[in-house]
Amino acid sequence: MAVYTDINEVELKAFLAEYDTGALLSFKGIAEGVENSNFLLHTDKGALILTLYEKRVEKGDLPFFLGLMHHLSDKGLSCPLPLPRKDGALLGELAGRPAALISFLEGMWLRKPEAVHCRAVGEAAAALHLAGEGFELTRRNALDLPGWQSLWAKARARADEVSPGLQAEIDAELAHLVTCWPQHLPEGVIHADLFPDNVFFLGDAVSGLIDFYFACNDAYAYDLSICLNAWCFEKDGSYNITKGKAMIEGYLSVRSLSEAEVAALPVLCRGSALRFLLTRLYDWLTTPAGALVVKKDPLEYLRKLRFHQAVITAGEYGWPQ
């Protein structure tokens, strides 16, 4: 749920005057995205999304994110497309915040995805990896291993408030990852947050990917490991190998993986589970009571991390043997 900033009709009209959108018919704050404020606009030319970038998004990163959406869309990937203003800029300002108008994608994110959807997400992730080739801007992954260490330094002292023993467990995991984090895997643009709420479906087919505000340059196989974490566990914490197999097969139908990528998958899954454990833990400890966001349970990712710690080969995720 995210409408951090309300807007009034006077400033909205001034903002829209810089675009060629047609007449505004309605705007509604929508419960979508956790970093920004989003509004669904109807104009007499169709529907649009208005995004106000709140302070968690670095303004300097916006040209990367908005340019990437244009690049991916040009390559045939279905994703929201920032509309240029009359002066050509992709970014304006509204209510004191950087703001963009973005095409509206029909489709629904699935609260109860099944294996057929996991296969489609695997395909879409691989298609995104191929489509990102040739994009001229780059962005370091701010949530890479050094990023996790910085985050951990801010949360470590209070980790045991959330779960006794958590401090020692994360200390040990980080020490392990420092020694064996894979280097030199094939890399390029990754989505880095391809959770169910960022993948729209019409029927069983992907209609588009959204929310590129964690996109960055990193190992392709790391992006796949994020998807396995986000899509292939059941509510009871168990790994669903049918979903994992479908996702991996979907991915491989579009892009093949090297032996090094396959071998690295278990440690990449540990890393991505730790990444979400740490950001959720940090948010858990720092989000003020009364904030208009639902805090996500960090321990969901502790359970996933423990699963990955026991995995030895990618076959346990459903890799074709």
3-state secondary structure (DSSP) of residue 254 = coil
3-state helix, strand, coil in the chain (%, to 5): 45, 15, 40
14 in contact with a second copy (CB under 8 A): no
Place of tokens 């994020």: 226
Can you tell me the distance from the alpha carbon of 321 to that of 318, in angstroms, rounded to the nearest whole number?
Answer: 8
Please, are residues 95 and 12 in contact by the beta-carbon 8 Å criterion? no
Contact assessment for residue 24 and residue 41, using Cβ atoms and an 8 Å cutoff: yes
Q: How far is CA 316 from CA 110, 111, 247, in A?
A: 25, 25, 13
Q: Which is nearer to a second copy, 200 or 222 (CB)?
A: 200
Is residue 160 within 8 Å of residue 166, measured between CB atoms? yes
Contact with a second copy (CB under 8 A) among 29, 98, 147, 315 = 29
Q: Tell me the residue type at 176.
A: H
For residue 4, the minimal CB distance to a second copy (Å) is 10
| 107 touches a second copy (CB under 8 A) | yes
**Token pair of 32, please?**
């979508």
Whether residue 227 contacts residue 194, with contact meaning beta carbons closer than 8 Å, is answered with yes
Cβ of residue 81: shortest distance to a second copy, in angstroms? Answer: 16
**Considering beta carbons, is residue 44 or 136 the nearer one to a second copy?**
44
Q: Which is nearer to a second copy, 32 or 123 (CB)?
A: 32
Q: Of the listed pieces 99-107, 129-137, 144-152, 216-224, which binds a second copy according to CB under 8 A?
A: 99-107
Q: Give the x-and-dash track for 196-215 against a second copy (CB under 8 A).
A: ----x-x-------------
CB-nearer residue toward a second copy: 29 or 84:
29
Number of residues binding to a second copy, judged by CB under 8 A: 33
Among 62, 83, 91, 110, binds a second copy (CB under 8 A): 110
**Residue 32 makes contact with a second copy by CB under 8 A:** yes
d(CA 234, CA 255): 26
Binding residues vs a second copy (CB under 8 A): 1, 3, 6-10, 24-32, 40, 42, 47, 105-108, 110-112, 200, 202, 289-292, 294
